[in-house]
Amino acid sequence: METLDRTELCFPRLLNASCRKPIRPVFEVMLTYILLSTISVVTAALNLLVIISISHFKQLHTPTNLLLLSLAVSDFLVGLLMQFQIMLIDGCWFLGDLMCTLYQYMAYMVISASIGTMVLISMDRYVAICHPLVYPRKVTRKRAKVCVLLCWMCAALFQSLVLKDILEKPGRYNSCFGECIIFINYITGIADLIFTFIVPITVIVVLYLRVFAVAVSHARAIRSQVSQQQSRVTMKKSELKAARTLGIVVIVFLICLCPYYCTALTGQDNLLNASSAAFVICLTYFNSCANPVIYALFYPWFRKSIRLIVTLKILQPDSSNTQVL
């Protein structure tokens, strides 16, 4: 009996202090492990290709692509952080309280930065489609860099306030060795929900509804073939295509993250069983893997960049000036 108890402990030598491993079907554990491992590797690899593409080729150094670069960086970090989530599949954390706290903080910060970048992308498309005459003057690479920097700084600062308790004393809410949990009080949790989900999602939806309405009017103008507007319509085709592609990114983003935040919003997270919780986590992480797949489907420049990277042609002199658009 003692041997059986020891095998169920995260740290068998600490009989009275170690956490017990939850009893789960082997098939469920293996399926979750394989799924998360695959998503993690694919997410990190694909987003690394996006980062290299936009960073290397000068032709891609546009304000919109700088925002995509920020999103790719956050998605790449999500792919790396997934490795820590994989460690928790069997219910035990072996890296200590400090690493648990750093993992939780990085995860929350990266997701906040990703949501903030989505808001910036929506604002960028709103100005490009609804106010095209002022777009080149108002939206510059320098301003895009400043906005991205502020986005990441705000995410880091806000999450440091949300997770202040565990940052001051790592592991203060752990009841046993091998546990890695995070506890946020009610007021802080409501503030986090409002500022990292409700407000950003509202802004994104409102802006894209406006972009959609303007895009529909432009589509009608294209079909009518009005000669006075033909040059203007042709000029905006690329902007409309970018808006459509980034609109798909936003929709996938909402589909993947809404289950997690809706659970938090209703306060019914304690009703989730292990299978449901694993599905919600996998769906949240899958969003970071889906973004570069969408780029590959709708952006010819990304497909061309991948070919140049895989064939190592980016190592050639002056390859950064290659025409990829």
What CATH number does the domain containing 204 carry? 1.20.1070.10
What distance in Å separates the CA atoms of residue 254 and residue 260, rounded to the nearest whole number? 10
For 10-42, letters b (16+ CB in 10 Å) and e give beeeeeeebbeeeebeeeebeebeebbeebbeb
Report the percent of the chain where pLDDT is more than 70.
Answer: 84
Helix, coil or strand: residue 131: coil
Residue 248 lies in a domain: yes
User: Cβ distance 178 to 11 under 8 Å?
Assistant: yes
Residue 227 is given by DSSP the state G
Residue 10 lies in a domain: no
pLDDT at 324: 83
pLDDT at 4: 41
Q: Tell me the pLDDT tens digit for each residue of 219-246.
A: 666 666 554 444 444 445 666 666 677 6
Residue 308 lies in a domain: yes
What distance in Å separates the CA atoms of residue 47 and residue 180, rounded to the nearest whole number? 28
Q: Tell me the pLDDT tens digit for each residue of 42-74.
A: 899 999 999 999 999 988 999 989 999 999 999
**Residue-range definition of the domain harbouring residue 59:** 25-321
Residue 96 lies in a domain: yes
Does 262 have pLDDT greater than 80? no
pLDDT at 223: 61
Tokens 């292990």 sit at which residue?
274
Higher pLDDT, 84 or 260: 84
pLDDT at 7: 54
Q: Tell me the pLDDT tens digit for each residue of 178-205.
A: 778 777 777 887 888 888 888 888 888 8
**Highest mean predicted confidence (pLDDT) among 22-36, 87-101, 137-151, 282-296:** 137-151
What distance in Å separates the CA atoms of residue 202 and residue 209, rounded to the nearest whole number? 11
When pLDDT is cut at 50, 70 and 90, the band that residue 266 belongs to is low
Q: Tell me the pLDDT tens digit for each residue of 276-313.
A: 666 777 777 788 888 888 877 778 888 889 889 988 88
The backbone region for 18, taken as left when phi is positive above 0, alpha when psi lies in -120 to 50, beta otherwise, is beta
* String of DSSP letters for 187-222: HHHHHHHIIIIIHHHHHHHHHHHHHHHHHHHHHHHH
Q: Tell me the pLDDT tens digit for each residue of 119-170.
A: 998 899 888 888 888 888 888 999 999 999 999 999 999 999 888 888 888 8
pLDDT at 222: 60
Residue 244 lies in a domain: yes
Residue 251 lies in a domain: yes
Residue 143 lies in a domain: yes
Residue 305 lies in a domain: yes
User: Cβ distance 50 to 69 under 8 Å?
Assistant: yes
pLDDT at 224: 64
* The token pair that represents 163 in the structure block: 């997770």
Number of domains making up the chain:
1
